[in-house]
Structure 1
């Protein structure tokens, strides 16, 4: 089949990684894939599909060529995808990588975008339930995955020294990161450092965001944190592998991919409940999880610092449980579900 993917950007991030992984596997299995992006979009992942970058900053239906399936994701791509579909350019299927109305501005546009097409794919049961309650559409689940490239390299034993506590930190400017609860994260990490001055605190941020963000540059100037800006997956994998405890403070995520990647690399996970992370994270079995209102993030990190046995047990269980989540499985579900949608549509 010919897939047309209108995509806002392919910068570093969990949603963009999933688009890249699925698009590449579509190409590998013989599908024709064309990614259509606006002029400001960037490509920070290896992409096997052909990319058409238009001159305008806003995608419109006239930018979308004819295909069998138009696979939108973000609400800004859903509108031109639906119009193109109505013009006979292909069947519009939406892969919702986040539920925008509850955490992004302009929800007067993002909310009704979920009424455009009944052909909906989601990442988790939590997201599935939320959209069903709000819109009456029950999306079919395409789970997140982790590449086999991310694995436990068993270097922690060689590093010795103090424990390393790591978290992803994204640019605050622009109000796109409030749901990550990053101010709460820093406050909790301060409590951890006060209780255990010997630990090392690491923050990982995309290089482009570090260059643009005065907030992140200020954090580095305080000397409290090691700020890492991995240029590629090799560097990111190393930072996950040197991490003893990975901390996720986000309170709203349909997939929450970094926590899963960190588990795959052998780090113990301490997380806030964010909805989507319950697909892989189970409190006291393979992580420590708290609700945001409990304000327990620092206490859980300190608990793992002081209890080596528990930390190692959760890390081992997390690494084992993460093996269920592969991009091969994600792609298999995507292809199976889309084939079913297309066959049912043409049968009617």
Structure 2
């Protein structure tokens, strides 16, 4: 159904005066540049994405360059941005576009959705922003705007509510100025209709926003029932050579931090000594526990205890498959999990003597 109200008219007028038009991916908005930005912006705020995007595009200016680069290096440029499956999907899709589409992104919604890591809303955003197609988007910002504007009484995760949101999004999408409208409704949610303390006095939709009329914008979107996240534990085995190199191991391609480099790990403390005796050729070593840190994923907390292996001798060779000696003074271009980056920074502050005390 085409838009028959003034929703889009008011939103476009607001965007013309107040919208963001100089973001890096808005300059020369090719399908490739828009695609990279849309993947980075999933679950991540614009201010965080900007420096990552600029570095990424400098290193991978074309989809062909991205496709031929080893995944390790792609993950390196993603380190710290989180949700690393996005980077793996990005790399896979770049190869698909080059191999199946001769390096040119498809122009239909179904073909775009079929690419790894691209869902319905992301596909629509890419086509609208880079091609000017009339496509309907429904990202987190848009859901928040529409939940408030229509005062929807169930969480956006509710199947019926989600169907309503898609219907409303379609109704409000205009027939012209599609790229501007798509950016406008995302901008409104990101800068005005924010999660907390929305600036309703600046909103072009205030006059007929049902949540505003109720004086209760904080009640929308209705939150999904909260649940207590389970806690899992792991132990990172930290082995450091005299010159500061640290033993890292590449994680399996699937699972948490898939394909990233991390410390070897044990599921329980009782496994640590057997692991050392099986895998390391050390003498006169002793074990010291570091301070635990917590890393939170979407569905659980992970409590990590670093186990420092302190010895005057070091392993003579790399002891395991898929391992390397990581030199923090000359770091290789590999992807690292966020807690690993934190622990490596702590290690870099210690002298060798302090490590062996």
Range into which the TM-score falls when normalised by the shorter chain:
under 0.3
Q: Under a length normalisation based on structure 1, what TM-score does the superposition of the two structures give? A: 0.24
- The structure whose residues are more often strand, as a share, is 1
Larger radius of gyration: 2
TM-score with structure 2 length normalisation? 0.23
With CA pairs under 8 Å and 6+ residues apart, which has the higher RCO, 1 or 2? 2
